[in-house]
């Protein structure tokens, strides 16, 4: 068996031709948290849900932070590389299809954003709820037109709107196709976030939409 060094859950696909979803929880979550969200976003898709290895006051995270919104950039770089290697191994172990869409919330979304800004070749697209700029790259890699969905809170006390717009600009600088949904509330996830992400997913992964309609 391939060495998969994250505690995780894998839910096999029950429908053909769907992209797999890589689920990355927020601070205090675990590998079970986003399974219902993944199923709601794309019923029948394979789900690969990870638990962060870093503990902050007993709560799992994917990388260390020094304070609210201030990240340990060295640790972030290591954890991003670690995620990239895990994805490679998981593709072989679970025979995942080529299309893999990262779905992250808060801390998990920030890790996925870091992956896009460092090694975008490992995923086909991303749905990032309440993500912020994880670091300032010297150069943004070519994303090959990767579709990215950002969902941000208009009154989010953690991620200001200007930060969301800056993240979108960074992705666009690498050629990504970015869509932004604005939730009227704060950092919490609303049904409007989920509905908008689901519609975006169907629109950008046509084979998935066709499979669900059959």
Pair 83, 123: CB distance under 8 Å: no
Pair 163, 130: CB distance under 8 Å: no
Could you confirm whether 33 is annotated as catalytic? no
Pair 125, 112: CB distance under 8 Å: no
Pair 86, 58: CB distance under 8 Å: no
Could you confirm whether 187 is annotated as catalytic? yes
Could you confirm whether 106 is annotated as catalytic? yes
Report CA-CA distances (Å) from 48 to 43, 104, 165, 174: 14, 12, 28, 26
Set 15, 39, 179, 187: catalytic member = 187
Tokens 């290895």, residue located:
53
Set 122, 156, 183, 193: catalytic member = 156
Set 25, 33, 49, 106: catalytic member = 106
Tell me the catalytic residues.
106, 156, 187
């Amino acid at each position: 068996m391939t060495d998969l060094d994250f505690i995780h859950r894998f839910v096999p696909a029950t429908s053909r031709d769907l992209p797999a979803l890589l689920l990355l929880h927020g601070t205090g979550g675990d590998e079970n948290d986003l399974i219902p969200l993944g199923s709601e976003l794309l019923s029948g898709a394979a789900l690969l849900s990870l638990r962060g290895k870093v503990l902050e006051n007993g709560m799992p995270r994917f990388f260390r932070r020094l304070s609210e919104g201030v990240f340990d950039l060295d640790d972030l770089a290591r954890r991003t590389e670690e995620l990239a290697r895990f994805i490679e191994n998981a593709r072989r172990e679970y025979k995942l299809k080529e299309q893999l869409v990262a779905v992250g919330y808060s801390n998990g979304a920030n890790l996925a954003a870091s992956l896009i800004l460092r090694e975008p070749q490992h995923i086909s697209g991303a749905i990032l709820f309440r993500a912020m700029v994880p670091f300032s790259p010297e150069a943004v890699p070519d994303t090959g037109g990767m579709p990215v969905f950002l969902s941000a809170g208009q009154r989010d006390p953690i991620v200001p709107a200007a930060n969301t717009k800056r993240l979108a600009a960074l992705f666009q600088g690498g050629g990504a196709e970015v869509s932004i949904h604005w939730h009227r509330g704060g950092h919490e996830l609303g049904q409007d976030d989920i509905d908008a992400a689901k519609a975006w997913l169907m629109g950008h992964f046509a084979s998935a939409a066709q499979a669900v309609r059959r």
